[in-house]
Structure 1
């Protein structure tokens, strides 16, 4: 009989999981032995960077991706990045190396005595097979659970299992396929259409799942038929709608009271592809204005179940958008002129205002550029200046876990080498995922990293004021020269001293990774 490893490799190949993001330890080597020629192993120098690269790669390709991690300590290093992958519902399949079976009970070094418990609730499914012969089936379940749930899964495999022989049933997994269809039933669809048609002042709220599901342009068609304002759901990780469309009102504030205020005067709130809602700042109040009805449509059953208000329909948002577009009349608000950006603010002294940086990005880079953003203190400046009209234009750490931005930009650039990719990274964030620069150089991805350096944790300073803690320690990180760090990892680097130099550098088209450091004035997220 073939070995467990051989069956596993063939199954992964048939399922298209041939790109492996990893950082190997001793327990992983038996899985990696005899890896077929069609596989590509992408090495990251820290498990957090590995998961963030895989997260963005899976989002950009729309397909599950394999992650290979070490047991307890290595998996623990990845958990911060997993918070983002869980929140963005990214189908990562994590296979971790466990100690040999006989060494787990005595808690030998590098053993993980309870691997499933370690990773929950940061994965949608976690297991360790009860015996070596169950590994192929369990691996198949990990892949299908990730695909069906659109969440990371975690499989811990004792490393002596890979060389074991399968039994007669082992190869049965090779031809398995699991598919899902979730259009609303006829009566459900009829009721939804009636409620939308009867609304006098509907408002549409779109989540990152709309862009993940390639429904960006469909959402525009629906919005123009509804004719009401469009908001992006709070804590946005993907942009679901053109941000300068005349109907777009921006990203909802991440607090209960201001969200309620935004819905004043509307009788129906239709939420597509988003939880209700991912609040952040503690600003209590009513969930909804008096007389306002909320209907949520999501594929995420857990998001529907935990919502504190409104009605929910667990269904494919794409099927619902198609249903409503067909049922509603011709556009009441046809797409008109997109709103222009305002004149960028400037800063006193040698530093640039972030708005000057973002205006340069908008003006000098191609319209189809993809941006991976992790500069939280410049959030308001970003939306005032950028003009994003295409699907897949924006990625952000879904759970706010720092360390996504740099490796995330590498992952997106690997997934779409024919589209310009720019990482917009704050200096506070950059240090969490700085090792991704080595992978960018190793993979020779055509990536531009714009590093905004203000020498402080700007978002934390803003929160300090919000929470009445203006004098908290540890806010400043002066004196870091990221150009020298980048060069040490093999990435070309420049320090742009002014707006003119920045624009000239952006006008160049890189054939490999580069970093542009810009000194910026301190701003606040809103």
Structure 2
């Protein structure tokens, strides 16, 4: 007779969930006992960093990943980071420890009272099994729900359940497989193709799901077939299209009125793999220009249902792209060369302008470098200087919550050890996930962190101007030396004082993690 733990471990192995990100507590130790050969436990020193690393790892691999958290306290610590995973539709499978069953009712210490409700409405599915024998089935549901919904799931398991015996019926879970096929039917396909083909001035808006689903190159082929301008959807967390392609117009602004203004003159807007739309700054106006039709194609049924305008088709964007490429006839005329990069401005020395930093990254690092970016005040400088033409080149905190950048970079680097990975992190955001440096050091992750230090929360200063609050307190953070902090965690670090020194440092190829601190001038997101 097998135990719940044995069957669960075997199910996870068959599903490929053999890398576990966690920070264990007493309730979790029975699950972690006897992890089979081939499993890898990645320790983080704070649950926010744990989830951030797992988020980056899952995005980079395109597969669900297991996260192990400690009861209510650890789950609560992780919730800020979990908002980014929800917004990026990352399939995290979160398993948290619960007190033993006899102690749950009396609410003994470390009881997670009403555990499923704690994580709602963030997660797509949450449960605590009704009995020990149901744990393997519930674990399987957590994995499949995460895959189907592309959203984190949460399972709370009393720690005495792992040692319980199960009968042979429980073994049926080991051979389970759940798949989805979502291709437009004949009438849907005919209507979609007719509307796209009839458009005289079509525009394409692509979301981060395009890159997440491996459709980056397919999106380029479709765009060149349509021949119209391409935007990235607002609040971008992955780059779905080469940012210097002649058809690319940039990231749509995250306000109602400016989106409408950007789409002026187009009779059709085709949105693939994105919500419609994830606004940020409240700038009211018309949703769309007069006479503009919007068609949204997404696998996210919730995003389709909540959109305030347009038509929606809940379908696989990849199948729709393939359909349109096949049905739209000959390719459009050649699109021309990629747009050149402007010369970066210089800041008053000894500071560097962020564009000087990004130009150095562009010139000195390989073209296939993956960048994990969490420096919000330098956003406009970033897009002016970078030339990203490869899938999986860009990661950003999807919900805007700080703390993803450093852990996310560690997760991406763990998932893709043969690809150069760089974290571009502001000093304001670095502190939220700083403990991820320790994990990077322990695993000798070949990762470069470029730390932009301007001594303030730059994006908040910009927002203070937008909101008419120029004198808000708590915006300056002087006196932080991240080189000393990094060295304390075991990561080599250095302060760089000039452009040529920065370029020389970036040209080196480290075999482990390193942090490069650069003092930069204050800029605004746009």
What TM-score bracket applies, with the shorter chain setting the length? over 0.9
State the partner residue of 1:288. 288
State the partner residue of 1:407. 407
- Taking the aligned partners of 1:423 and 1:433, their CA distance within structure 2 comes to 12
1:523 aligns with 2:489: no
The alpha carbon displacement at 1:331 in A equals 2.2
1:346-385 matches, within 5 Å, as: 346-385=346-385
Partner deviation per Cα, 1:452-511 (whole Å, 9 max, x = no partner)? 000000000000000000000000000100000000000010100011110000000111
1:443-522 matches, within 5 Å, as: 443-522=443-522
- Taking the aligned partners of 2:38 and 2:506, their CA distance within structure 1 comes to 36
Q: Secondary structure at the match of 1:162?
A: helix
- Taking the aligned partners of 1:297 and 1:65, their CA distance within structure 2 comes to 26
The alpha carbon displacement at 1:349 in A equals 2.8
State the partner residue of 2:232. 232
State the partner residue of 2:439. 439
Q: Secondary structure at the match of 1:28?
A: helix
Q: Secondary structure at the match of 1:129?
A: coil
- Taking the aligned partners of 1:263 and 1:63, their CA distance within structure 2 comes to 35
Note if contact 2:227-2:335 (Cα within 8 Å) is conserved in structure 1: no
State the partner residue of 2:216. 216
State the partner residue of 2:115. 115
State the partner residue of 2:105. 105
State the partner residue of 1:90. 90
Note if contact 2:371-2:424 (Cα within 8 Å) is conserved in structure 1: yes
The alpha carbon displacement at 1:67 in A equals 0.5
Q: Secondary structure at the match of 1:136?
A: helix
- The farther-off stretch of 453-462 and 95-104 is 95-104
The alpha carbon displacement at 1:417 in A equals 0.7
1:339 aligns with 2:339: yes
Let me know the Cα RMSD of the aligned residues.
0.6
Q: Normalised by the size of structure 1, how large is the TM-score?
A: 0.99
1:127-142 matches, within 5 Å, as: 127-142=127-142
The alpha carbon displacement at 1:333 in A equals 3.9
1:175 aligns with 2:175: yes
- Taking the aligned partners of 1:393 and 1:121, their CA distance within structure 2 comes to 30
State the partner residue of 1:125. 125
1:23 aligns with 2:23: yes
- Taking the aligned partners of 2:368 and 2:336, their CA distance within structure 1 comes to 20
The runs of 4+ residues in structure 1 deviating greater than 3 Å are none
1:2 aligns with 2:9: no
- Taking the aligned partners of 1:337 and 1:291, their CA distance within structure 2 comes to 32
User: How many pairs align?
Assistant: 526
The alpha carbon displacement at 1:170 in A equals 1.1
- Taking the aligned partners of 2:336 and 2:64, their CA distance within structure 1 comes to 38
Note if contact 2:27-2:71 (Cα within 8 Å) is conserved in structure 1: yes
State the partner residue of 1:255. 255
Structure 1 residues 179 and 521: alpha-carbon distance in aligned structure 2, compared to 1, 3 A threshold: same
The alpha carbon displacement at 1:109 in A equals 1.1
The alpha carbon displacement at 1:102 in A equals 1.2
Q: Secondary structure at the match of 2:94?
A: strand
- Taking the aligned partners of 1:167 and 1:133, their CA distance within structure 2 comes to 8
State the partner residue of 1:32. 32
Q: Normalised by the size of structure 2, how large is the TM-score?
A: 0.99
- Taking the aligned partners of 1:71 and 1:486, their CA distance within structure 2 comes to 30
State the partner residue of 1:144. 144
The alpha carbon displacement at 1:223 in A equals 0.3
Q: Secondary structure at the match of 1:155?
A: strand
State the partner residue of 2:200. 200
- Taking the aligned partners of 2:113 and 2:167, their CA distance within structure 1 comes to 26
Q: Secondary structure at the match of 2:441?
A: helix
The alpha carbon displacement at 1:336 in A equals 2.2
The alpha carbon displacement at 1:38 in A equals 1.1
1:325 aligns with 2:325: yes
- Uncovered stretches (5+) of structure 1, i.e. residues with no partner: none
- Taking the aligned partners of 2:378 and 2:331, their CA distance within structure 1 comes to 35
Q: Secondary structure at the match of 1:448?
A: strand
- Taking the aligned partners of 1:146 and 1:11, their CA distance within structure 2 comes to 15
1:58 aligns with 2:58: yes
Partner deviation per Cα, 1:114-147 (whole Å, 9 max, x = no partner)? 1111101111100000010110110010011011
The alpha carbon displacement at 1:345 in A equals 1.2
- Uncovered stretches (5+) of structure 2, i.e. residues with no partner: none
The alpha carbon displacement at 1:335 in A equals 3.8
Q: Secondary structure at the match of 1:431?
A: helix
- Taking the aligned partners of 1:463 and 1:45, their CA distance within structure 2 comes to 32
The alpha carbon displacement at 1:108 in A equals 1.1
- Taking the aligned partners of 1:71 and 1:125, their CA distance within structure 2 comes to 17
- Taking the aligned partners of 1:76 and 1:251, their CA distance within structure 2 comes to 33
1:293-312 matches, within 5 Å, as: 293-312=293-312
The alpha carbon displacement at 1:330 in A equals 2.1
The alpha carbon displacement at 1:166 in A equals 1.0
- Taking the aligned partners of 2:333 and 2:230, their CA distance within structure 1 comes to 12
Note if contact 2:264-2:289 (Cα within 8 Å) is conserved in structure 1: yes
Q: Secondary structure at the match of 2:225?
A: helix
